[in-house]
Amino acid sequence: MNLSWLLPAGHGIPVLMYHRVWPGLTDDLTITPQNLREHWDFLKKNGYHTLSLPEYLTVVNGDGRFPEKAILLTFDDGYRNNFEYVYPLLREFRWKATFFIIARSLNMLEEGDSGFVDQKMTLEELQQLDPATVQLGMHGYAHEDFSSIDLPALRDALQRSINAFEDSGLPFHKVFAYPYGARPADQELFLQLKDLMSDLGIAAAFRIGNKVSEVPARDIYEIKRIDIKGSDTVDTLAIKLKKGKLKPF
């Protein structure tokens, strides 16, 4: 029995984090196209609607009001299957989403793909995305683990990401999603990283956290997202929309 209607909604905007979309494959990172459609049919039926990345940032910076049942859809890593399955569905629903791209793939240097399911979008495919439908953000240069590298390496990863996007000519936003959701455990280093992001003009950074994102944001460089897994049913999604996780009480 779905008891999600009994739960009080978190005050803020759910930011949903998806990754791969592939027929017949369900795991922590991969949802089937059918299940994704079921998620979105549920959202639409229940009055949810999407914000663009600029709209979301305006709200979390405290500069605007957000409508009831607003959500931000995000997809990490820039998989080609997002171009094949997610983009047409966004166009069909007339919805918006943010794709966080590993910048090395813009230079055609992405390596280690184990099969078609892991292939990344080409620059040509990214150029075909309508920026009113899909906003592009950064996801590291080579999907670095930001919890295990020092400040010069952090600076290098961010600067190379910005350079790769600027060289590509793609419209993009200086907004960052931490690969693996990882941030420096050392608080002094984390503060230095936040200062660095501010100096580089990075407007916001997303972690995981599995909570509804606060509005306005308490810390613009630690915006929480809700991890959506391939096995999540519509009932599971209903709980996560309100509480961010499956243990609601």
pLDDT in tens, 65-86: 888 899 999 999 999 999 999 9
Task: Return the pLDDT at 248.
Answer: 52
Task: Return the pLDDT at 234.
Answer: 97
Decide if 101 contacts 164 (C-beta within 8 A): no
Residue numbers in the chain where pLDDT is lower than 50: 1-9, 110-112
What residue ranges define each of the domains in the chain, with the CATH number in brackets? Answer: 4-243 (3.20.20.370)
Task: Return the pLDDT at 246.
Answer: 82
Contacts of residues 113-120 at CB distance under 8 Å and 24 or more positions apart, as own/partner, are 116/80, 117/20, 117/22, 117/25, 117/30, 117/79, 117/81, 118/20, 118/79, 119/79, 119/80, 119/81, 120/77, 120/78, 120/79, 120/80
Q: How far apart are CA 200 and CA 158, in angstroms?
A: 8
Task: Return the pLDDT at 230.
Answer: 97
Task: Return the pLDDT at 11.
Answer: 77
Phi, psi dihedrals of residue 211, rounded to the nearest 5°: -140, 160
Say if pTM beats, i.e. exceeds, 0.85.
yes
Q: How far apart are CA 100 and CA 179, in angstroms?
A: 10
